[in-house]
């Protein structure tokens, strides 16, 4: 492999542009090709068929930023073509699709990573360190709320049709919160859910309420919604010796507000709820995009395993997604 990795971006919409912005900051790589449905110009080769970009032997790695229903097909073709592959979340439309990708990943011997960038957010990184320290005891329960509103233009987007998106707000946003639940608490064996589209009455759900429980008795509650009427991110973690709360989320648009971490430890004996000290940190810099890309590139260059967004992570979260959809028989 040459000293500089050559990269192709498949899909140059909102996420494709973000990926290129941060890839251009990496001295280890060079974006040499782009696929998009409408012709764009730049210091790269333009393809009007994604298959032709994948088959370009001069490209070492590809970034897939396409509608969900195409993810599995492009990932598999990319791996078979000898490319390292980075794909946006969700990792396909089902756990069965992830299993297919896992088989090809193993056969190809190439790196495959999925974009779960919230794991790299500063408040999440710090919360994980605090939990792992053991000073807060064990996790008892978690509550996650992740919501936004959409306008009437949503009806004309691919995300509004199940055949393209695979699902609604759960796959669009809620999957991030589920991934954090899995990061902080391990797997979940029980699922109870209500999945609805009572307001937008479209082809995909606009609200999901789910309660998850694992074999250790730890419970996580999720509300994923596109009828929030404002942007909201809140993750509350309550432990046997304290609590950790994340409110707000650093984002490109700033719509989720400031990213704040609040925690307290050394709770007085039950049933009292006083704490010796409460610590609050507000984060102003989001390096999640850079860190996510850097980990992928370093795994390729150094031939080391992917650490975050692995196919194992993908299988776990898509299995929970499937259980949430299946539990509500309506």
User: pLDDT tens for residues 218-253?
Assistant: 999 999 999 999 999 999 999 999 999 999 999 988
Could you tell me if 184 and 62 lie in one domain? Answer: no
Query: 195 pairs with which residues across the strands?
Result: 208
Mode of pairing for the β-strands spanning 190-196 and 139-149: unpaired
The CA–CA distances, whole Å, from 119 to 233, 249, 273 equal 14, 12, 30
Mean pLDDT of 209-225: 98
Using the predicted structure, report yes or no on whether residue 276 has a pLDDT greater than 90: no
Mean pLDDT of 264-291: 85
Could you tell me if 113 and 127 lie in one domain? Answer: no
Query: 87 pairs with which residues across the strands?
Result: 64, 114
Could you tell me if 17 and 104 lie in one domain? Answer: yes
Residue with tokens 């509550």: 143
The answer to whether 144 and 177 are in contact (CB under 8 A) is yes
Residue 161 CA to residue 112 CA, distance in Å, equals 27
Using the predicted structure, report yes or no on whether residue 211 has a pLDDT greater than 80: yes
In a domain, 319, yes or no: no
Could you tell me if 137 and 279 lie in one domain? Answer: yes
Residue 321 CA to residue 311 CA, distance in Å, equals 15
Number of domains in the chain: 2
- Residue 165 makes CB contacts below 8 A (sequence gap 6+) with 67, 68, 69, 93, 158, 159, 171, 172, 204
Could you tell me if 12 and 128 lie in one domain? Answer: no
Tell me the percentage of the chain whose pLDDT exceeds 70: 97
- Residue 132 makes CB contacts below 8 A (sequence gap 6+) with none
Give the 3-state secondary structure of residue 176. Answer: helix
The count of residues in the chain is: 330
Residue 202 CA to residue 206 CA, distance in Å, equals 8
Could you tell me if 32 and 129 lie in one domain? Answer: no
Mean pLDDT of 318-325: 98
pLDDT score at 96: 98
Could you tell me if 81 and 195 lie in one domain? Answer: no
The CA–CA distances, whole Å, from 328 to 220, 228, 268, 322 equal 17, 21, 40, 11
pLDDT score at 270: 67
Q: What is the CATH number of the domain that holds 296?
A: 3.40.50.720
User: pLDDT tens for residues 54-107?
Assistant: 999 999 999 999 999 999 999 999 999 999 999 999 999 999 999 999 999 999
The DSSP result for 209-223, as a single string, is: EEEEE-TT--EEEEE
In a domain, 313, yes or no: no
Could you tell me if 171 and 259 lie in one domain? Answer: yes
In a domain, 241, yes or no: yes
User: pLDDT tens for residues 146-201?
Assistant: 999 998 889 999 999 999 999 999 999 999 999 999 999 999 999 999 999 999 88
Q: What is the CATH number of the domain that holds 224?
A: 3.30.360.10
In a domain, 183, yes or no: yes
pLDDT score at 145: 98
Could you tell me if 34 and 113 lie in one domain? Answer: yes
17 is written with which tokens?
A: 């542009």
Residue 245 CA to residue 90 CA, distance in Å, equals 25
Residue 29 CA to residue 2 CA, distance in Å, equals 10
In a domain, 315, yes or no: no
Of 216, 140, 148, which is closest to residue 177 (Cα–Cα)?
A: 148
The DSSP result for 61-74, as a single string, is: EEEE---GGGHHHH
Helix (H) or strand (E) segment spanning residue 180: helix 175-185
Cis amide linkage into residue 90, ω under 30° from 0: yes
Using the predicted structure, report yes or no on whether residue 1 has a pLDDT greater than 50: no
| Dihedral angle over CA of 91, 95, 96, 100, nearest 10 | 40
User: pLDDT tens for residues 19-65?
Assistant: 999 999 999 999 999 999 999 999 999 999 999 999 999 999 999 99
Compute the Cα dihedral for 302, 15, 23, 2 and give only its sign: positive
Query: Which structural domain range is residue 274 located in?
Result: 122-249+251-284
């Amino acid at each position: 492999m040459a000293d500089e990795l050559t990269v192709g971006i498949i899909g140059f919409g909102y996420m494709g542009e973000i990926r290129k912005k941060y890839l251009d900051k990496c001295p280890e790589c060079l974006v040499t090709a782009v696929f998009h449905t409408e012709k764009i110009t730049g210091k790269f080769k333009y393809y009007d068929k994604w298959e032709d970009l994948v088959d370009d032997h001069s490209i070492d790695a590809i970034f897939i930023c396409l509608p969900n229903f195409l993810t599995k097909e492009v990932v598999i073709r990319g791996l078979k073509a000898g490319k390292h592959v980075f794909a946006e979340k969700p990792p396909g439309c089902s756990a069965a699709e992830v299993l297919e990708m896992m088989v090809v990943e193993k056969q190809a011997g190439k790196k495959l990573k999925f974009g779960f960038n919230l794991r790299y957010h500063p408040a999440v990184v710090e919360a994980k360190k605090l939990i792992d320290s053991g000073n807060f005891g064990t996790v008892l329960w978690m509550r996650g709320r992740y919501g936004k509103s959409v306008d009437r233009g949503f009806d004309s987007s691919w995300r509004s049709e199940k055949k393209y998106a695979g699902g609604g707000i759960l796959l669009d946003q809620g999957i991030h919160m589920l991934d954090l639940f899995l990061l902080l608490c391990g797997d979940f064996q029980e699922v109870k859910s209500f999945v609805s589209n009572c307001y937008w009455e479209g082809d995909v759900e606009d609200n999901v309420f789910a309660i998850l429980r694992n074999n250790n008795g730890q419970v996580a509650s999720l509300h994923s919604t596109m009828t929030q009427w404002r942007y909201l991110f809140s993750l509350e973690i309550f432990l046997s010796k304290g609590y950790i709360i994340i409110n707000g989320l650093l984002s490109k648009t700033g719509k989720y507000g400031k990213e704040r971490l609040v925690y307290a430890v050394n709770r007085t004996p039950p049933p009292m709820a006083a704490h010796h000290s409460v610590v609050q940190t507000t984060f102003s810099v989001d390096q999640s995009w850079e860190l996510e890309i850097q980990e992928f590139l370093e795994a390729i260059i150094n031939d080391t395993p992917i650490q975050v967004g692995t196919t194992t992570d993908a299988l776990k979260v898509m299995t929970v997604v499937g259980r949430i959809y299946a539990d509500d028989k309506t």
